[in-house]
Amino acid sequence: MKKKSVLLIMAKALVFSFFALVQDASAATYYVSPTGNDTTGNGSLNNPWKTIQRAANAAVAGDTILIRAGTYRETVTPAANGVTFQNYNGEAVTVSGADLVTGWSLHTGSIYKATVSGPLLHGGQVFVDGQMMVQARWPNTAPANLMTPAVGLTDASTTPTLIIDSALPSTPNLANAKV
């Protein structure tokens, strides 16, 4: 009786090992490259997809996504657990949630402007060559706390919770202002 139990356990272990090997053998490898194409690509090394998200949508548990060198400006949400994301052959890969802002034009003096949409309108941050920029503000000073204005830029009636600056135009042009 004991011998039959041991043989049955061994047989079950062999069957489980066989199915585990079959599952590993069917795991796919997908490729992503900045020069790829999400529409006409097939995820192969010679015909990669352009975005990591496209590969993430196709991958299932056990699959590997190899990412070629470049900067990918996207947010990636894997469609399945157990997917491996890896850079291809040690190539330098950057995944950034930051979007490029283009269309800059000179506003006045050394101030540039560009039309943007999305999260930048709601407290986003601008970087130039990797350095965080200060967003436009009035007055254009850099105190540690914007509620602690620089001396000489405010009127005498300024309080810790109310900043009064007579240099601020009383009738600003808000025709193109957005909230």
**pLDDT exceeds 50 at position 122:** yes
Gap between the Cα atoms of 11 and 8, Å rounded: 5
Sequence-distant (6+) residues with CB within 8 A of 155 are: 164, 165, 166
Confidence at 171, pLDDT banded by 50, 70, 90 = low
Does 81 share its domain with 106? no
Does 78 share its domain with 104? no
Range of the domain at 159: 138-167
Last residue of a domain, one of 96, 128, 149: 96
Give residue-wise pLDDT tens across range 135-160. Answer: 666 555 555 555 555 555 556 676 76
In 3D space, the residue among 48, 65, 52, 73 whose CA is nearest the CA of residue 127 turns out to be 73
Domain count, the chain: 3
Does 29 share its domain with 67? yes
Query: Has this prediction a pTM greater than 0.85?
Result: no
